[in-house]
Chain A
Amino acid sequence: QVLLQESGPGLVKPSQTLSLTCTVSGGSITSDNYYWNWIRQPAGKGLEWIGRIYTSGSTNYNPSLDSRVSISVNTSKNQFSLKLSSVTAADTAVYYCARRKVGATTYFDYWGQGTLVTVSS
């Protein structure tokens, strides 16, 4: 059973950088078969895909966030991380990490339980 767990500060000040980590257990993040993703959900709104990383370190980001997002991987710790810069109140959301099989048309099969990040001074 693959488990994903998000961690990081629950409160970030406006204009600062949001940083979160996802720890994967029950499976290796170095697998050739999966992409590792970040997804968020503001209160009362739909889910929004932020971006993904492959074990090689290659990344792909949502164009709406591309200029502010960075995702990295730490294979030795079986973790991947999200950095979102210059945050505003609009970035307040529950942030999820999730796994997706490699391929052009694949879905998210395992998710973390999410962590709430509030942007406020």
Chain B
Amino acid sequence: EIVVTQSPATLSVSPGERATLSCRASQSVSSNLAWYQQKPGQAPRLLIYGASARATGIPARFSGSGSGTEFTLTISSLQSEDFAVYSCQQYNSWPYTFGQGTKLEIK
């Protein structure tokens, strides 16, 4: 089973600033990595798939990069609605596995 590790566990950033979240896989997952946004009481929302492709309706301030074992989600200018938990998921190898999440909080 591929272990997915996210860092940091919590990230404090001011509105308008840039946030950079990391995701690492224990072995190569090629570009088969997705990012999700989670807010309490809401359905998780797909942000990025294929490591860098934005899902339908996702603002351009969200961008993903990386391949192999190292990935990054960047939010270029944080809006109030962006403060949430972000989870990455590899779908290269079964069983599909998720990271433990990064909580993005207001500084």
Contacts and interface: CB of A to CB of B under 8 A. Distances in A.
Interface string A11-48: 00000000000000000000000000000000001111
Interface string B18-43: 00000000000010101010000111
A36 to B, nearest CB: 14
A86 B14 CA distance: 46
A47 B43 contact: no
Interface residues of B, number: 25
Interface on chain B toward A: helix, strand, loop, or mixed SS? Answer: loop
Given A46-B100, A111-B43, A106 B91 contact: yes
A46 B5 CA distance: 10
Nearest to B31: A105
Contacts of A111: 36, 43-46
B35 to A, nearest CB: 9
Given A105-B91, A108-B89, A4 B101 contact: no
Interface of B: 4, 30, 32, 34, 36, 41-46, 49, 55, 87, 89, 91-92, 94-101
Interface of A: 4, 45-49, 60, 62-64, 96, 98, 105-114
